[in-house]
């Protein structure tokens, strides 16, 4: 089973991030984490967080074992470039290009494991509770409707006729 995670608009150039990513491509998850601990680059912190996020996705969403995962694919793509201006001599300015990147990772199991069967009994119990709650809510709402009917006065509904005066004299008619 594959598990995906990605980070977008990371404020580091794609070229610098690829230096780190190329070192961990294809490794086991634990081995990649150990290798990242040794490398002294700025991109290491971002790649480390991304791998931890992907591992957490695998554990929580798919109930996979972390020891059984390896990095199937990890990519660094260029993101948006921000342009800022640097003042120079004689009233000139030169652009500063602040580059960003997107990193995406796909983790996969080394040995495929069978998905665990979910408990059906708990689902049945929750549906029974939900049905009971719906009945109680309907009863409460019907009681509230009855209370509202008692408090209203009976009278003519709709717009009341203002008479001839409103038809003849309009304040903003332009006359």
Neighbouring C-alpha atoms within 13 Å toward the C-beta of 111: 4
Based on C-alpha coordinates, what's the Rg of the chain? 32
Which H helix or E strand runs over 32?
helix 29-38
Cα separations in angstroms, 144 against 133, 134, 149, 157, 163 = 17, 15, 9, 22, 38
The domains of the chain, with CATH numbers, are: 2-6+14-76+103-109 (3.90.470.10)
Contact 3, 109 (CB under 8 A): no
Q: How confident is the model at residue 113 (pLDDT cuts 50, 70, 90)?
A: confident
Angle, alpha carbons 78-30-15 (nearest 5°): 20
pLDDT of 151 strictly over 60: no
The whole-model pTM stands at 0.63
Residue-wise pLDDT for 5-18, tens only, equals 999 999 999 999 99
Q: Which residues pair with 162 in a beta bridge?
A: none
């Amino acid at each position: 089973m594959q598990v995906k995670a990605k980070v977008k608009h990371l404020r580091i150039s794609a070229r610098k991030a690829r230096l780190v990513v190329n070192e961990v491509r294809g490794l086991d998850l634990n081995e990649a984490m150990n290798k990242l601990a040794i490398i002294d680059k700025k991109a290491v912190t971002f790649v480390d967080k991304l791998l931890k996020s992907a591992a957490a996705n695998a554990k929580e969403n798919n109930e996979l074992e972390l020891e059984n995962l390896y990095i199937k694919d990890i990519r660094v793509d260029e993101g948006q470039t921000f342009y800022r201006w640097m003042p120079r001599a004689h009233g000139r300015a030169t652009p500063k290009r602040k580059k960003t990147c997107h990193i995406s990772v796909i983790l996969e199991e080394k040995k495929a494991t069978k998905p665990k069967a979910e408990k059906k009994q708990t689902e049945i119990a929750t549906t029974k509770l939900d049905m009971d709650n719906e009945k109680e809510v309907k009863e409460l709402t019907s009681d509230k409707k009855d209370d509202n009917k008692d408090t209203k006065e009976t009278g003519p509904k709709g717009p009341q006729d203002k008479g001839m005066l409103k038809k003849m004299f309009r304040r903003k008619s332009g006359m």
